Amino acid sequence: MRLFTALQPPGEVLDEVEQAIAPHVGRVPGLRWPDRATWHITLAFFGEVPEGALPDLETRLARAVRRHDVLDVAFTGFGGFSSAGRARVFWAGLSGDPMNRLVDSLRAAGRRAGAAHTDEKRFHPHLTLGRAKTEVDLRPLVESLSGFSGSVWRAEAVHLVRSHLGAQVRYESLAKWALSPVRRD
Ligand code: 2AM
């Protein structure tokens, strides 16, 4: 099964992003806009994982997530991969608490559980909002959204998600683990 870990931002901050992009949806040649119900922030991508490896993967991920604190982050700025000028992916970026240590732990858990594909690329936290089959120039779109700054939100849990590929990709949350709550005095 095809698996990855992800954050699920709260509806209120997704509303802000949705409102910001609304005037552009369907109006950028070549760009497809996945349904809002599929929006998520990928942390570690594992690719195909044998079903038998799932219990071990879940145990290791649960342990990894517990060791990290909740994260305070905000959507700030939009861009394209691999660049705004030659993009196949249109995204909203995140600022605030860095997620790299959490992602490194999740990737390590995946490797130890025998996940076929644990991404070793540098991690860029992002919410994918659009996809193109061939490279498109998103500089005008990115420029027109440059004033956007979203509210701060707290990422409190990590989801293990299964992708069901098909004409319409579907994501199924298989498990959810809480990040360690920050102690408040
Ligand atoms: P994306 O957010 O940049 O599109 C499910 O497919 C999720 O895993 C997607 O959100 C996608 O990231 C991410 N993903 C898919 N293939 C990947 C790969 N080869 N390496 C890293 N992440 C991948």
Our answer on whether the CB atom of 45 is closer than 6 Å to any ligand 1 atom is yes
Distance separating alpha carbons of residues 20 and 64, to the nearest angstrom = 34
User: Does residue 14 lie within any of the structural domains?
Assistant: yes
pLDDT of res. 184 = 58
Cβ of 42 closer than 6 Å to ligand 1, yes or no, is yes
> What pTM does this model have?
0.95
CA 28 – ligand 1 centroid, Å: 22
Number of domains in the chain: 1
Q: Whose CA is nearest to atom 15 of ligand 1?
A: 45
**C-beta of residue 138 within 8 angstroms of C-beta of residue 90:** yes
Ligand 1 contacts CB of residue 119 (under 6 A): yes
Is 185 a domain residue?
no
- pLDDT tens by residue, 127-166: 999 999 999 999 999 999 999 999 999 999 999 999 999 9
- Over pLDDT 70: what percentage of the chain? 98
Segment 17-25 shows an average pLDDT of: 98
In a domain, 184, yes or no: no
**Is the Cβ atom of 163 under 6 angstroms away from ligand 1?**
yes
CATH of the domain at 55: 3.90.1140.10
Q: Is residue 167 part of a domain?
A: yes
Q: Is residue 12 a part of any domain in this protein?
A: yes
Which residues constitute the domain of residue 22? 2-178
Sheet holding 87-96, edge to edge: 31-32, 126-136, 87-96, 71-82, 149-155
- 138 found inside a domain: yes
Q: What pLDDT sits at residue 167?
A: 87
Nearest to 150 by CA among 173, 121, 129: 129
Q: How many CB atoms lie within 10 A of CB 93?
A: 14
Bigger pLDDT: 182 or 85? Answer: 85
